[in-house]
Amino acid sequence: MEQEAQQLLLHGIETHELDWAKDEMPPLPTQKRGSKWWLLVALYIFFVISGQAIASLLGRLYYDKGGNSKWMQSIVVTAGFPFLIPILLFCYCNPSSNLNSHNSNSTINNTSPSIITLSLLYASFGIFFAVDNLMYSYGLLYLPVSTFSLVSATQLAFNVIFSYFLNSLKFTPFVLNSVVLLTISALLLALHSDESNVPIGITKAQYVVGLLCTICASALFSLLLSLTQLSFEKVLKMETFSVKLEMQIYPAMVGTCVCLMGLFASGEWSSLKGEMEQFGGMSYVMILVWTTMAWTAFFVGTMGLIFEVSSLFMNVISTVSLPIVPILAVIFFHDKMDGVKVVALLLAIWGFVSYMYQNYLDDLKSKATTE
């Protein structure tokens, strides 16, 4: 009897320790990576890559054809939110379609933040997005689209820094290698601002302004991505599809209103009629509409990847468009692809591969821990 009692006591202690370990151990990434999850992530990746590439090319086409409104190019980045409102209403009317997108077995947190908290969150994000879009517009106006795309890659380096402080990112040799390579890639382009690289009609001073605006916009965009991930985890605390849509629709609505006020306050609205006549009417409208839809697809993919994986992973995926945009720019806009750009492009690709290899190692480690 005494021996049986000791065995029961030992079994109880082991069970208690196992339960404690389960409570303390965070869920592993591999526990939620089913086939549906991979298909969803692949769809978001497609939205990010195709949306960014198409929007960048159409933005450059707008300026090449005679467009000159920075505020109009800022508006089209966020003006696509009405396309998403019917989907959000469908989620509200059909709760069964608004399931937890992380894991069907995990619970949904029903504790919603207050209306004041949400209003401040969406308003601040919308204002910052409007400022960010305006800086990107200056960069796209003053830089060749290939240079603009490669300099924008600095957002990955900025995102690593912000993710370290805001999202508890752990630095590894491969992550640091990725940051260094992408930073060097951008610096090569910044130092290579000779006359042959400056677009026709753009002064060297404007070219430098374009570089600085693009770098600052990349830093601000990376900060917003990290803050978005932090908001999902600390403020919204809900794992539903409608939350991702709300996080895009409401800030985009605020950002569009801010850009519209800037359009009228700057007086650029008076030149829009002349731009439309120069384009030929319908061509002008179609460029703006397709640019808006491309940016909308990009931000849908952005919110999805931040929600499903992380802000840093989203930024890494966006760098996949680096080999695409410069090549398409050479084909459609006859940009010069000189030796410095080729080296910068190779360094950017090398940095991307380095980060993806770190992801591969993390995945192997997670599988080994699960087993």
What confidence score (pLDDT) does residue 174 get? 83
Distance CA 113, CA 156 (A): 30
Supply the pLDDT for residue 24.
35
Phi-psi region of 334 (alpha: psi -120 to 50; beta: other; left: phi over 0): left
Q: What is the pLDDT of residue 262?
A: 94
Q: How far apart are CA 67 and CA 76, in angstroms?
A: 13
Q: Can you tell me the distance from the alpha carbon of 337 to that of 182, in angstroms, rounded to the nearest whole number?
A: 18
Helix axes 35-64, 282-308, angle to 10 degrees: 150
Residue 60 CA to its chain's centroid (Å): 20
Does residue 226 sit in helix, strand or coil? helix
Distance CA 71, CA 232 (A): 29
Closest listed residue to residue 240, CA positions, set 96, 120, 124, 117 = 96
Residues with Cβ within 8 Å of 301's Cβ and at least 6 positions away in sequence, in order, are 43, 44, 45, 46, 47, 48, 51, 314
Domain boundaries of the chain, sorted by first residue: 35-99+112-370
Q: Please give the pLDDT value at position 239.
A: 66
Check residue 13 and give its pLDDT.
42
* pLDDT the model gives residue 155: 82
Give burial (CB, 10 Å; 0-12/13-18/19+) of 268: middle
pLDDT the model gives residue 190:
62
pLDDT-flagged residues of the chain (< 50): 1-31, 101-108
- 3-state SS record for 284-353: HHHHHHHHHHHHHHHHHHHHHHHHHCCHHHHHHHHHHHCCHHHHHHHHHHCCCCCHHHHHHHHHHHHHHH
pLDDT at res. 126: 96
CB neighbourhood size of 123 (10 A) = 17
Backbone angles phi, psi at 223, to 5 degrees: -60, -40
What is the pTM for the complete model shown?
Answer: 0.77
Helix, strand, coil percentages, rounded to 5, for the chain = 80, 0, 20
Query: Which pLDDT score is estimated for 257?
Result: 96
